[in-house]
Amino acid sequence: MAFPSLHSRILLVFSLLSLCICSMPASAQTDHRASAEPSRSTTAVIDNSQAESSSLSGIGFYGLGSDMVVNSAYTGLPLPEAPEPAALGGGTERFDATPAGVKHQAPFSRIGIGADVSPLGIGIKSAIVLNEHFDARLMGNFFKYNSAHYELEGFNLTTNLHLASAAASLDWYPFNSIWRLSPGLLFFNGNKISAAANIIPGTDFTLNNQDFYSASANPVTGATPLVASGVLGLNSTKPAFTVSGGFGRFIPRSNRHWSFPSEFGVAFTGAPSVNVNVSGWVCTDKAQTQCSNVSAPTNHFNSDLQAELTKWRHDLSGVRVYPLFSYSVVYSFNIR
């Protein structure tokens, strides 16, 4: 079969185009010619976008009305701006993370050992974690001071301060804070002040509004100067309840080892006790003509002494608490 020549093909195509143009309405031809020039000078056809979209969709192209992202080089339209990032903290994602400075410790997993100085003496203490809000603490205190001999208004004195005590307390940290409230018990209390005196012969003193004189040594009568000893006890109530508050944890809830807690409170030790013992001879006149042993039945020295002690005890009856305040240095570590 013979195929038409190239010239014949071209003539056939032009004939078909002429036939199509002639068959179109005049108004359509005019509109097409008017819109043909702008379409050649622009990158994208805006007026006929919908028609082009529908006509090209069948072969895999999408018009402006589709969801496809179109390059601005082909459409002549600017690309949309990137969406703003989510506001800081506006997301819903949450992390249940413990702050770096806080550590949750299991009961009986960590202990602390420390020391302090307080009115109870030099203190050694230990504490152990019970839970997030409570610690248990055990304390021992001691101090001893013996003075040299000294003279005070005719009395040759030596004084001794003896402090020894043991206590336990429960440390409560409200709201898991560093503030502390500590009820406790002073279950051993040997705190006391003692004094011994040799009263110089001829020294006068007053008991219960009565003047007395220490006798001089007399081998004939057997008189001897007065010797006295006394004890001020700071432990009338045994055991004694304690209550204190403070700032700082004895065992930090973190990986820190050192802590420096402070404490202020009182121990309900009761009023101090006063006891005095006297031996020797006492005179009621300066010339020492009326002297007798203080243990003699006819001597009213002891009754006046007891009356004076009653006054002193009454004056001390209002002092029923013992002050507690300290600043501790504690080192803590894990035990399991």
Tokens encoding 280:
């020797």
List all residues 6 or more positions away from 104 whose beta carbon is below 8 Å from its beta carbon: 98, 132, 253
The topology (CATH level 3) of 110-334 is Porin (2.40.160)
- Scan for tokens 């004895």, then name that residue: 250
* Max CA pair span of the chain: 179
Q: In degrees to the nearest 10, what's the CA dihedral of 313, 314, 319, 321?
A: 70
Tokens encoding 64:
């402006």
The tens-digit pLDDT sequence of the chain (336 residues) is: 444 555 566 666 556 665 555 555 544 444 444 444 444 444 443 444 444 444 444 444 444 444 444 444 445 556 666 666 555 544 444 544 444 445 678 899 999 999 999 999 999 999 999 998 999 999 999 999 999 989 998 899 999 999 999 999 999 999 989 999 999 999 999 999 999 999 999 999 999 999 999 999 999 999 999 999 999 999 999 999 999 999 999 999 888 999 999 999 999 999 999 999 999 999 999 999 999 999 998 899 999 999 999 999 999 999 999 999 999 999 999 998
**How far apart are alpha carbons 152 and 105 in whole angstroms?**
58
Tokens encoding 44:
């994208």
- Residue 212 has what pLDDT? 95
Strand partners, 76: none
**How far apart are alpha carbons 188 and 242 in whole angstroms?**
12
128 touches 110 (CB < 8 A): yes
Q: Using the 8-state DSSP alphabet, how is residue 147 labeled?
A: P
Strand partners, 161: 145, 193
Tokens encoding 271:
């009023």
DSSP string, 180-226: EEEEEEEEEE--EEEEEEEEPTT-EEEETTEEEEEPPPBTTTTB---
What's the distance, CA 245 to chain centroid? 12
Tokens encoding 301:
């020295």
Q: Is 15 helix (H, G, I), strand (E, B) or coil?
A: helix
- Residue 62 has what pLDDT? 43
Q: How far apart are the first and last CA of the chain?
A: 103
- Residue 117 has what pLDDT? 95
Q: Domain ranges in the chain? A: 45-74, 110-334
- Residue 176 has what pLDDT? 87
Neighbours of 174 (CB within 10 A): 9
What's the distance, CA 191 to chain centroid? 31
Let me know how long the chain is. Answer: 336
